């Protein structure tokens, strides 16, 4: 994929690709991951594609990053017991496959020593 093509997240935001939405406001969307790694696995995505990863997002718009975290808490409150694991993959060798900043919210009975496996 070239940088001029929209990411899958941009296509979801623009409703070109369907997703099982759990939250949306003017700044972010949240939807169930299509390949869940936990009983609750939701992706929280800023609606701007300006930031390729969490480091760029934190440096340029810390308020938006804080909002992503707040939405993660809201999702965990609504779909689980309010406790959650928040994961940002930063870079290809760390597992990032979509270069549009996003967070994974994992919840629902996770135990220490797992990275979210069911």
Domain coverage including residue 72: 8-107
Domain count, the chain: 1
Is residue 112 domain-resident? no
What does the pLDDT look like over 44-102, one tens digit per residue?
999 999 999 999 999 999 999 999 999 999 999 999 999 999 999 999 999 999 999 99
Q: CATH number for the domain including 78?
A: 3.30.428.10
- Report field, pTM of the whole predicted structure over 0.85: yes
Considering only CA atoms, which of 112, 108, 102 is closest in space to residue 67?
102
Is residue 1 domain-resident? no
Kindly tell me the burial class for residue 26, based on how many C-beta atoms sit within 10 Å of its own C-beta (0-12, 13-18, 19 or more).
Answer: exposed
Is residue 37 domain-resident? yes
Q: Which has the minimum average pLDDT: 5-9, 12-16, 38-42, 102-106?
A: 5-9
Is residue 114 domain-resident? no
Is residue 3 domain-resident? no
Is residue 97 domain-resident? yes
Catalytic-residue membership of 32: no
């Amino acid at each position: 994929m070239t940088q001029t093509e929209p990411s899958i997240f941009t296509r979801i935001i623009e409703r070109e690709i369907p997703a099982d939405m759990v939250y949306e406001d003017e700044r972010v969307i949240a939807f169930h991951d299509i390949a869940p790694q936990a009983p609750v696995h939701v992706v929280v995505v800023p609606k701007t594609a300006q930031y390729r990863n969490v480091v760029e997002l934190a440096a340029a718009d810390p308020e938006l990053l804080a909002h992503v975290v707040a939405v993660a808490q809201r999702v965990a409150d609504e779909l689980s017991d309010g406790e959650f694991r928040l994961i940002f993959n930063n870079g290809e060798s760390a597992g990032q496959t979509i270069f549009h900043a996003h967070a994974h919210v994992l919840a629902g009975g996770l135990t220490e020593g797992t990275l979210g496996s069911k």
